[in-house]
Structure 1
């Protein structure tokens, strides 16, 4: 064997080749290494992961607040007989073009019984239950998404191309190997750092994960059952179009074209698949367009498509060289949002770089999907952050197969990183909790008072016991991992998945009051509603009985303010310009001062992160 010259580029990176050669796996896989994770442990981890952070908290800023506002607005329109909001969403009378109607409709279905019951009983709507009910479909969607990614990994692992060589007949059975890879993919998805927060909001991130898992599952069965896959995948593409807009649907269509024209098992059934896939997809999209045109003006339908397809990022790159900085932001965020998926997946791809990708669908399909999502996210019409979240499912699949060739040094690196990171963060959370409740350490107590003003320590037995249980469970998990010597495929990611889950449990118990204060808008909403109630109580009964005037008009000057008024208050919001009150972000000018007076203005102390100042105006003439 010839040696590389000292100082040559090849010699500079020779350590990587040496690592690969030294860690080259045996041609077979022992059956003991493919033993599955105990079901009780996996189910318990899922319950802790999904259950905490969904309920018994306020609506957080961003997608959580906006989705709840859209769903409540949709329910109110449905109760008034306006069925057109089922086809295209709207925030009161403001057309909402940033996403499709499907996810808003699903959330609205869960809110409908609560809103209808309050209306029938003549009781005020329980705002504290509204956001909890709105997040029930989020939990159900997450569970179904985890099932879908498990099934996708299981089906791909059972394929002949994916199974390790077993010349001695001591390897795992196909069913055991598939189940183990399914467990690994599920654990890797749970362990991903950047998705736990958006997945626990009422926004469309959860349904995006579910749809991506269903697409992978359907593609895993397509070579053997192309007819059934051709009947399933159009519904997934249509669901993406109606949930997250055309950008995601376009990315998936491009990925399908590449897969069925390049990857060998799919090329054999491409014609049979296309004959059923294309007509059904066109039928579903055509039916929705017909419903849109039947219930909305053409300009409204066109505005939805234009806003979702017109603003391609590539146009901004060509017009403004500074826009290229978004690629650097994507790269920096991906490094931590995709941890620990990307190093495991990258090493698996490097280790199998000599594989003929077109004959390895378990590698080729997720690579194609991640690549198209990344490219279309960076240059296409959709926000790249949506594509970044949805890429977690195929990356988890890649990382699951990457575990097969992961060398022991990298296994130990991932494990010790998880131990160091989550132990340090757990101690940090406990220190902040003691600072909030007991004022020690004093420096942290002062910091808490600045970040979450007005939050008082209210330690109770439940949060203390939950925090102690989570901390002890983490210690037990670390000790178990250190003492466990038998090789298991899922062993490298148990600490990452368990550590992130237990850390999330600590945050959602010990830190929840402070997080609600920082991320919520309750203080602003309560201040606004109190000002309106004081004004409304002084009005004559004749005005109170006139529903067309005893209302608050939204000026739509701020989407955040509109969402706060609809989702977090009992204000009688109407679209009538004759309303006695008007809510906006602009103070009245000299001409308007003759008709309007300001009765409330946000001070900025309610939420320091909102730079806008909101005003509630009252009509001076009766």
Structure 2
């Protein structure tokens, strides 16, 4: 998997011959990482069902300008993610289930992300760092779950990586780099709104600030080429809304301004926030901290200042806006991956071996645990584990197929061969982390997929709700009580049920509660006709259908 070359870094000279991961090997690992989980399962509760539901509404009802969920306007995200999902859904919906085809838009964003990170790392630190960036991206724990769900933050993160690539390209090809920088910054707005501009536009200043060489008139004039695609992409959607959907534009703009207002909620829960960042950015942050200390005298150099500035902007954004959700940390990843990729190529052999050993042991034990879980579910051994797994998901009946088992065996054998045959080289630790994450996710997506699907899918719940509603005399209108966007989207996708707003004058009302919260009641004059409880603990969910009593 390793390939020798004779070049050396300019900013990060290596003491050893440069070694990089060949493209064919990277493509194979990326396919094994990206496809399982993006195809092969129905929409899961949470963000996956929510955003697939937005695309489903776009495809089925033609709301191309105004993202909607089952007839309700959705202001949280601009449309780029949904356009991308609708495109792959249109192109591949004949070949795959619609939700899988939609999720391939997420795979396209992942492809852009890894390409841009490789290119930026190569421009900043050399060819070996390009391989390190790709492996570190695939081996990052925080990216794993969100890379396998329909997630606008992935698209926003990919556009940020493209902006970083454009800024590095400007140093050797100012015009092409400026065009890419402007287009990526505009796409960041279409993917993430005002936060996308906040993450990208301040970085434009770094080239002239960090080096006198780039304060020349000719170089500064190259930024004119960045303005055209930026202005075009930033104005395209709002102008279209102003012409055809002005009410949506006004509501979206008010929502956007409210969402970007800073707050101190995360800082007041500093320990929880630090813990979230700690596990989400593993294994990047130890290497990044060492790089900052080791390079503390050269932080004004462009190779350090660009990713550092990007990391600080992303940290300021996630620390002061939005909720404390793991997905919101994704814009931190490109900068941390770049900083870690440059330093990883210079780690001493002892540190590199420790990084490698920890990854090998972690994922070997995790892989064995996943095989044990499969054995427990299907054969009842170990018995205590089987009881615990089945108790977590009441009503689950184990099932598996030969193809999934074959894929799981292939991944496990490949992991063993990689550990036995891969010789020491500077990036072996990063390669093992990438392969280990791919192994763990691949085993979960094959051996345990039916168990995960049963717990995280609303398909059976939606079918049951649809049957109960159809049995009522007046089933045309159902109002929701505390029903979330994810539940509305899932009911629309699986059962073609559109839930009206709480205040609607409907003869039926569907109530929802999570965790240990009490189900909301509709008040006097209503009777319960059906209820359902699924899950346990803080992940428990309750549904109840009420009928008006005359």
TM-score by length of structure 2 reads 0.87
What secondary structure does 1:310 align onto? helix
Which of 64, 68, 73 lines up with 2:48 in the alignment? 64
SS in structure 1 of the partner of residue 297 of structure 2: coil
User: What CA distance in whole angstroms lies between the structure 1 residues aligned with 2:388 and 2:134?
Assistant: 37
Question: 1:507 matched to which residue of 2?
Answer: 444
Match in the other structure for 2:297: 354
Retained in 2: the 8 A contact 1:582–1:618?
Answer: yes
Secondary structure, counterpart of 2:534 in structure 1: coil
When residues 618 and 610 of structure 1 are mapped into structure 2, their CA distance, relative to the original with a 3 A threshold, is farther
Alignment CA distance shift 1:451-1:610 (3 Å): closer
Match of 1:53 in 2: 37
* Partner Cα distance (2:537, 2:98) in 1: 25
Alignment match, 2:277:
334
State the distance in 1 between where 2:258 and 2:504 align. Answer: 32
1:54 and 1:201 in contact (8 A); partners too: yes
SS in 1 for 2:530: strand
For residues 202-228 of structure 1, what are the alpha-carbon distances to aligned partners after superposition, in whole Å with 9 as ceiling and x for unaligned? Answer: 121331232122112111111233333
Contact 2:160 2:199 in 1 (8 A): no
Alpha-carbon distance in 2 for matches of 1:611, 1:352: 48
Aligned residue in 1 for 2:515: none
* Alignment-derived partner of residue 180 in structure 1: 128
Contact 1:414–1:492 at 8 Å: present in 2 too? yes
Of 75, 89, 95 in structure 1, the residue corresponding to residue 59 of structure 2 is 75
Q: Which of 69, 84, 99 is equivalent to 1:106?
A: 84
- Equivalent-residue separation in structure 1 for 2:549 and 2:460 (angstroms): 27
Separation in 2, partners of 1:524, 1:606: 12
C-alpha separation between the residues in 2 aligned to 1:273 and 1:330?
A: 40
For 1:109 and 1:312, locate their aligned partners in 2 and report how far apart those are by CA, in whole Å: 29
1:438 maps to 379
Structure 1 residue aligned with 2:516: none
Q: Could you say which residue in structure 1 is the equivalent of 2:106?
A: 138
Unpaired runs of 5+ residues, structure 2, are 1-9, 513-519
- Give distance in 1, aligned partners of 2:25 and 2:397: 36
User: 2:186–2:229: 8 Å Cα contact kept in structure 1?
Assistant: no
Alpha-carbon distance between aligned partners in 1 of 2:199 and 2:246, rounded to the nearest angstrom: 28
Alignment of 1:551 onto 2:476: yes
Question: What CA distance in whole angstroms lies between the structure 1 residues aligned with 2:219 and 2:11?
Answer: 35
**The one of 463, 467, 477 aligned to 2:404:** 463
Deviations 1:378-432 (A, max 9, x none): 1246867445212212221111110232112211211111122111111111111
The residue number in structure 2 matching 1:526 is 463
Query: For 1:600, what is the secondary structure of its paired residue?
Result: strand
Which residue pairs with 1:250 in the alignment?
198
- Matched residues in 2 for 1:529 and 1:608: separation? 26
1:280 Cα deviation (Å)? 4.5
Change in CA separation of 1:226 and 1:606 when aligned onto 2, cut-off 3 Å: same
Q: What does residue 288 of structure 1 align with?
A: 237
- Structure 1 CA distance for aligned equivalents of residues 11 and 55 of structure 2: 54
Q: Secondary structure at the match of 2:176?
A: helix
Distance 1:551 1:270, change over 3 A: farther
Change (3 A) 1:76 1:581: farther
SS at match of 1:604: strand
Asked whether the equivalents of residues 313 and 378 of structure 1 are also in contact (C-alpha less than 8 Å), the reply is no
Listed as ranges, the matches of 1:201-350 within 5 Å are 201-268=149-216, 271-278=220-227, 280-298=229-247, 300-312=248-260, 314=262, 316-317=263-264, 323-350=266-293
Inter-partner Cα distance in structure 1 for 2:270 and 2:198: 20
Structure number with greater Rg is 1
Change (3 A) 1:266 1:328: farther
Which one of the candidate residues 524, 544, 548 is aligned to 1:615?
544
- Distance 1:207-1:309 versus aligned 2 partners, 3 A rule: same
Change (3 A) 1:364 1:476: same
Distance in structure 2 (CA, Å) of the matches to 1:305 and 1:326:
29
Which residue in 1 is equivalent to 2:524? 590
Distance 1:326 1:27, change over 3 A: closer
Bigger shift: 502-511 or 33-42?
Answer: 33-42
Gaps of 5+ in 1: 1-24, 79-84, 118-125, 158-177, 540-548
* Aligned residue number for residue 426 of structure 1: 367
Q: Does the CA-based 8 Å contact 1:192-1:340 persist in structure 2? A: yes
Match of 1:36 among 20, 40, 64: 20
* CA deviations over 1:59-92 (Å, ceiling 9, x no partner): 11211010011111122221xxxxxx32231223
User: Structure 1's 310 and 533: CA in aligned 2 closer, same or farther, altered over 3 A?
Assistant: closer
Q: Which residue of 2 aligns with 1:604?
A: 533
Measure the CA separation in 2 of the matches of 1:137 and 1:323: 31
Q: Deviations over 1:495-530 (max 9, x none)?
A: 111111111111111111121122222332232123
Residues 1:517 and 2:454 are matched in the alignment: yes
Distance 2:122 2:530 in 1: 58
Alignment check: 8 A CA contact 1:437 1:456 kept: no
The Cα shift of 1:140 comes to 2.2
CA contact (8 A) 1:552 1:581 kept: yes
CA contact (8 A) 1:69 1:563 kept: yes
1:396 aligns with 2:337: yes
Residue in structure 1 matched with residue 124 of structure 2 by the alignment: 156
> Which of the numbers 298, 301, 304 marks the counterpart of 1:363?
304
Report deviation, 1:339.
1.7
Distance in 1 of aligned mates of 2:462 and 2:536: 10
* Cα 1:57–1:287 shift into 2, 3 Å: closer
Alpha-carbon RMSD: 3.1
The 8 Å contact of residues 480 and 509 in structure 2, kept in 1 or not, is answered as yes
Aligned counterpart in structure 2 of residue 563 of structure 1, from 477, 489, 495 = 489
CA drift of 1:200 comes to: 0.7
**TM-superposition CA deviations, 1:120-168 (whole Å, max 9, x none):** xxxxxx9x923212112112221232122212222223xxxxxxxxxxx
